């Protein structure tokens, strides 16, 4: 964290914490130690230092607005911050991570969408974990983001034991997201967070779920299953292995149904 509110872990992108307030506090949140702590929230002077840092680092191609929830800020403040970021020539894109389409959908207004249009392209990453969260009201607001705000909308989910750790629930969720105009982006292995161990699904089960899902739904609906390495190691994908055997002149694969197929070099 080179300046308050900024995490620069990957070479080409930086995470900017703009708020530590959310509409709903998730029990599995990896930042629960910070939420509702006013001393943790960057102020105007911190914003200036962050913007100067971004300007001084030409390797930064993307800034991710996060929190808490950045949509806790007013439209005018978001408009200002997006304007400042878009003035930095080496920043290729801005991403906004928000759970408000789930927890406070009425925050998505025509005025907010007008802000997004002024700074096209903006990428919005939502956080739906279960098909029941895709209410008619949430769908209406996502449509507004896509059509009136001209935003590209993606989704990250957390794999949660007893909540969405079944093929049937995940298929319904991922198809529901795409039907609402949202691209499933990440399925996160639940982080190591105090008090949430009962939500954690074994990685081996998560991989098997992804293998079962891939052949049953469109590739457009399949997110990347990832784990965020404790201690600042960053996200790594958890690939599903389909190659069963490599022979002298052929490969043997097992598909999503469990059937074996052999192909030549």
Spatial CB neighbours of 81, under 8 Å, sequence gap ≥ 6? 18, 47, 65, 73
Summarize the confidence of residues 62-73 as an average pLDDT: 94
Spatial CB neighbours of 97, under 8 Å, sequence gap ≥ 6? 64, 65, 66, 67, 70, 125, 127, 156
Give a yes or no: residue 238 inside a domain.
Answer: no
Give a yes or no: residue 260 inside a domain.
Answer: no
CA-based R_g, the chain, Å:
20
pLDDT at 230: 78
pLDDT beyond 70 at 121:
yes
**How would you class 239 by CB atoms within 10 Å of its CB: exposed for 0-12, middle for 13-18, buried for 19 or more?**
exposed
Give a yes or no: residue 153 inside a domain.
Answer: yes
| pLDDT single digits (tens) 159-199 | 999 999 999 999 999 999 999 999 999 999 998 777 888 99
pLDDT at 87: 97
d(CA 263, CA 242): 13
| pLDDT single digits (tens) 216-243 | 899 999 999 999 887 778 889 988 888 8
pLDDT beyond 70 at 33:
no
What is the number of helices (H) and of strands (E) in the chain?
7, 12
Domain of 133 in residue numbering reads as 6-191
pLDDT at 61: 98
Torsion of CA 170, 176, 182, 183, to 10 degrees: 40
Q: Which residues of 99-133 are buried (b: 16+ CB within 10 A; e: fewer)?
A: bbbbbbbebbeeebbebbeebeebbbbbbbbbbeb
pLDDT at 217: 92
Give a yes or no: residue 69 inside a domain.
Answer: yes
Structural domains counted in the chain: 1
pLDDT at 34: 66
Summarize the confidence of residues 4-11 as an average pLDDT: 93
Which band of pLDDT confidence, cut at 50, 70 and 90, is reported for residue 37?
Answer: low
Give a yes or no: residue 201 inside a domain.
Answer: no
pLDDT beyond 80 at 139:
yes
**What is the set of active-site residues?**
9-10, 13, 22, 26, 29, 31, 191, 228, 235
Identify the CATH number of the domain in which residue 63 sits. Answer: 3.20.20.70
pLDDT beyond 90 at 215:
no
pLDDT beyond 70 at 207:
yes
| pLDDT single digits (tens) 244-261 | 999 989 999 988 788 899
Give a yes or no: residue 122 inside a domain.
Answer: yes
Give a yes or no: residue 248 inside a domain.
Answer: no
Give a yes or no: residue 246 inside a domain.
Answer: no
């Amino acid at each position: 964290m080179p300046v308050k509110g900024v995490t620069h872990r990957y070479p080409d992108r930086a995470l900017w914490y703009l708020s530590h307030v959310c509409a709903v506090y998730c029990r599995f949140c990896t930042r629960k130690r910070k939420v509702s702590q006013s001393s943790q929230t960057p102020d105007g002077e911190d914003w200036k230092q962050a913007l100067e840092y971004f300007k001084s680092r030409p390797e930064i191609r993307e800034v991710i607005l996060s929190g808490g929830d950045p949509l806790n800020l007013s439209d005018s403040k978001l408009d200002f911050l997006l304007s400042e970021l878009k003035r930095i020539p080496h920043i290729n894109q801005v991403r906004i991570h928000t759970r408000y389409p789930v927890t406070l959908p009425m925050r998505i207004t025509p005025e907010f969408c007008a802000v997004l249009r002024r700074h096209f392209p903006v990428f919005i990453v939502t956080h739906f974990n279960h098909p029941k969260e895709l209410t008619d009201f949430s769908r209406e607001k996502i449509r507004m983001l896509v059509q009136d705000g001209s935003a590209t909308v993606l989704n990250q989910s957390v794999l949660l034991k007893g909540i969405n750790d079944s093929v049937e629930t995940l298929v319904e969720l991922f198809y529901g997201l795409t039907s609402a105009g949202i691209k499933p982006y990440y399925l996160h292995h639940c982080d190591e967070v105090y008090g949430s161990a009962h939500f954690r699904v074994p990685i081996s089960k998560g991989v098997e779920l992804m293998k079962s899902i891939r052949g049953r739904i469109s590739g457009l609906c399949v997110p990347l299953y990832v784990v965020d390495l404790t201690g600042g190691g960053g996200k790594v994908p958890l690939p599903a292995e389909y190659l069963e055997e490599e022979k002298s002149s052929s490969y043997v694969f097992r598909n999503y149904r469990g059937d074996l197929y052999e192909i030549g070099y």
